[in-house]
Amino acid sequence: MEVLKGITVANAINEQIMEQAKGLAQTPKLAIIRVGERGDDIAYERGATKKMEKVGFHCEHYTYPADITNEDFLQAFEEINADASIDGILLLRPLPKHIDEEKVTRRIAPEKDLDGISPMNMAKIYAGDATGFAPCTAEAVVEMLDYAGIDCTGKRVTVIGRSLVIGKPVTMLLMKKNATVTVCHTRTKDMKAECQRADIVVAAAGVSKMVDSSYLSEGTIVLDVGINVDAEGNLTGDVDFDSASEKVSLITPVPGGVGSVTTSVLAKHLLRAAQNKQHNM
């Protein structure tokens, strides 16, 4: 049984980024937009900032109070969106309920939309158009499979979860790699049986330790995308790691798995956005 740690994959991506960035005329710049003081937003912002520093990219922070009006936020966002010095934008979500998040996702410039939230980028992912930006976490799953040398062609994959952030986009990305994908969700009648038939399971349900060894067949490959906090305050995945380890051939841990690769994918997207801008100048 192999435990595939995210840091190994992230380091490989970082090296590629730094090598490719040597050909740029200007250093890429990321804008991170945060509204409020949510702990998970702050943690991700901190991780993204460290990653940009590690690969030599610039990072600008735009932080607003949770009670900012919808009108004021939209105006501030438009100014950031139009700033020619900014190559990519990371909008930390969900936004407070009084802010029109749908309007923001419609307005974000697709060429700066590094986390694939715009309708244009979503459409490109569903069309198999590689010029679009996929959500970073969904792409991180594929990066880990690629690093492990796993050919998805003909593999049966079960994805648990159908969100626009992970479940749906990762399904499209895996189908593009010629996998046969089944998507499970809260209305799936026999999720356990669907998982047992799979060669690869991607767990993105948001339910702590839901997937144990009874969901898996011998030799299954498991990628755990879940981020949960248990009663003791410990970070846990959607997979019961100890139980699943009895059967799997490869598994990603939580913490230290897919999440560790996500910020490297973000940096990779920022590099591509900067390259595209330089090419079009």
CATH of the domain at 79: 3.40.50.10860
Q: At residue 199, does pLDDT exceed 80?
A: yes
Confidence category of residue 208, pLDDT binned at 50, 70, 90: very high
Position 240 in a domain:
yes
Classify 63 as helix, strand or coil.
strand
Measured CA to CA, the distance from residue 266 to residue 135 in angstroms comes to 9
Q: pLDDT tens digits for 225-277? A: 998 987 788 889 999 999 999 999 999 999 999 999 999 999 999 999 999 99
Confirm whether 278 is domain-assigned.
Answer: no
Q: 16 lies in a domain?
A: no
Q: Residue 61 domain-assigned?
A: yes
Question: Do 105 and 235 contact (CB within 8 A), yes or no?
Answer: no
Which band of pLDDT confidence, cut at 50, 70 and 90, is reported for residue 174?
very high
36 and 100 co-located in one domain? yes
pLDDT mean across residues, the chain: 96
CA angle 202, 167, 115 (to 5 degrees): 115
Q: Are residues 140 and 88 in the same domain?
A: no
pLDDT score recorded for residue 92: 97
Same domain, 153 and 103: no
Is 86 found in the same domain as 159?
Answer: no
Residues 141 and 243 in one domain: yes
Q: What's the sign of the alpha-carbon dihedral 211, 216, 218, 221?
A: negative
What is the domain extent for residue 142? 136-259
Q: Are residues 95 and 144 in the same domain?
A: no
Domain count along the chain? 2
Task: Over range 196-209, report the average pLDDT.
Answer: 96
Identify the pLDDT of residue 169. 97
Mean pLDDT of 146-160: 98
Report phi then psi at 244, rounded to 5: -65, -30
Whether 121 is covered by a domain: the verdict is no
| Average pLDDT of the residues in 81-90 | 98
Same domain, 169 and 246: yes
Do 146 and 91 share a structural domain?
A: no
**CA count, 13 A, side-chain hemisphere, 248:** 26
Tell me the DSSP string of 190-226.
-HHHHHHT-SEEEE-S--TT-B-GGG--TT-EEEE--
15-29, 60-74, 158-172, 224-238: lowest mean pLDDT where? 224-238
Mean pLDDT of the region 93-99: 96
Check if the beta carbon of residue 202 is closer than 8 Å to that of residue 159: yes
β-strand partners of 223? 202
**192-196 long-range Cβ contacts below 8 angstroms, 24+ apart:** 194/158, 195/158, 195/160
Burial of 215 (0-12, 13-18, 19+ CB in 10 A): buried
pLDDT at residue 234 in the model: 84
Q: What is the model's pLDDT at position 128?
A: 92
Residue 78 lies in a domain: yes
Residues 79 and 193 in one domain: no
**Given a cut of 80, is residue 115 above it in pLDDT?**
yes
Quote the CA–CA distance of 193 and 176 in Å, as a whole number. 24
pLDDT the model gives residue 226:
94
Specify the pLDDT at position 281.
72
| Alpha carbon 260 to its chain's center | 10
My answer on whether 150 and 47 are in the same domain is no
Per-residue CA distances from 103 to 74, 108, 228 (Å): 8, 9, 29
The model carries a pTM of 0.95
**Domain end point (choices 112, 145, 180):** 112
pLDDT of residue 146: 98
Give the CATH number, domain containing residue 188: 3.40.50.720
Residue 130 lies in a domain: no
Same structural domain for residues 217 and 145? yes
pLDDT at position 97 is 97
Q: Which two structure tokens, joined as six digits, stand for 140?
A: 């991180």
DSSP character string of 5-62: -HHHHHHHHHHHHHHHGGG-SS--EEEEEEES--HHHHHHHHHHHHHHHHHT-EEEEE
Please name the residue that has the structure tokens 């991170």. 32
Same domain, 163 and 227: yes
Is residue 244 a part of any domain in this protein? Answer: yes
The answer to whether 164 and 126 are in contact (CB under 8 A) is: no
The helix-helix angle for 6-20 and 258-280 (nearest 10°) equals 10
